[in-house]
């Protein structure tokens, strides 16, 4: 769970490579994943950012870049690339050191909730799943993933918004999430052949299946986690994940 610094990895990489000798890698030890860096000018000072492979999604790179651009974390300008484990350490350190929102218990053990949040760290190397709600651009179902971003002070935004001028659509899905709408649509699909009369159409919309599915979505989604445990943040930086 706890990731250590990888200065040894950086030191070994800086050593001159002898092409005449081929180093044997232990098959039981995973290969070190490296990310190149680039120096950019952001609001004045020069700041290093992390680059990722083309056509890949990596939440770890996105979070680290937000922390770097927000001057919450720093990297030496002369470092050309960093290891994946070092980036995870950059994210983990503010969670465990000096984070007033993630305090240790009196028995010096992390609470079960905080352990679950830290358990998200290994997932950052891939894409994370977020269940959006349609009431606002910051509407997201609370999960351990969203809690991690809250502890780091990194807000999440999405663009799945409803046109407020469409009163029927807005009232139908205002308090619903994407997963709940998908579930209700699947329910409607399963019961539709059993009904004798087709669902009622609404005005200019001809997609009767869509509006019938919305009828299932009038209630808000249930909260699976204690809302009092979730951090609240007033950050400046905005992170868009697709």
* pLDDT the model gives residue 208: 55
* pLDDT the model gives residue 228: 40
Over residues 161-197, the pLDDT tens digits come to: 777 787 777 777 767 778 887 887 787 777 766 544 5
pLDDT at 63 over 80: yes
Spatial separation of the C-alpha atoms in residues 126 and 53, rounded to whole Å: 12
Spatial separation of the C-alpha atoms in residues 179 and 131, rounded to whole Å: 6
Spatial separation of the C-alpha atoms in residues 46 and 149, rounded to whole Å: 25
Spatial separation of the C-alpha atoms in residues 207 and 193, rounded to whole Å: 16
* pLDDT the model gives residue 13: 43
pLDDT at 159 over 80: no
Burial bucket for residue 15 (CB in 10 Å: 0-12, 13-18, 19+): exposed
Query: What residue ranges do the domains of the chain occupy?
Result: 32-158, 167-217
Mean pLDDT (whole number) for 186-212: 56
The percentage of residues in the chain with a pLDDT greater than 70, rounded to a whole number, is: 59
pLDDT at 153 over 80: yes
| Residue 99 vs residues 42, 114, 160, 229: alpha-carbon distances, Å | 26, 12, 32, 14
Among the ranges given (38-42, 124-128, 230-234), the one the predictor scored with the smallest mean pLDDT: 230-234
- Write down the H helix ranges in 71-166: 84-96, 112-118, 144-152
């Amino acid at each position: 769970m706890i990731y250590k610094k990888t200065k040894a990895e950086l030191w070994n990489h800086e050593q001159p490579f002898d092409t005449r000798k081929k180093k044997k890698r232990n098959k039981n030890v995973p290969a070190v994943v490296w990310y190149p860096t680039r120096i950019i000018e952001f609001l004045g000072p020069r700041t290093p950012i992390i680059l990722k492979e083309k056509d890949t999604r990596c939440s770890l790179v996105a979070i680290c870049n937000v922390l770097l651009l927000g001057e919450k974390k720093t990297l030496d300008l002369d470092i050309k690339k960093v290891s994946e484990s070092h980036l995870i350490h950059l994210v983990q350190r503010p969670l465990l050191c000096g984070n007033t929102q993630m305090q240790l218990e009196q028995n010096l053990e992390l609470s079960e909730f905080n352990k679950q949040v830290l358990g998200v760290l290994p997932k950052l190397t891939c894409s994370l799943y977020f269940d959006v709600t349609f009431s606002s651009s910051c509407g997201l179902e609370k999960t351990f993933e969203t809690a991690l971003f809250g502890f780091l002070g990194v807000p999440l935004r999405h663009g799945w918004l409803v046109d407020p001028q469409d009163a029927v659509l807005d009232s139908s899905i205002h308090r619903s999430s994407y997963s709940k709408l998908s579930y209700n649509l699947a329910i409607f699909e399963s019961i539709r052949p059993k009904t004798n009369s087709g669902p009622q159409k609404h005005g200019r919309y001809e997609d009767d299946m869509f509006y019938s599915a919305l009828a299932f979505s009038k209630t808000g989604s249930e909260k699976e986690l204690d809302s009092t445990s979730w951090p609240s943040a007033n950050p400046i930086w905005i992170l868009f994940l697709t």
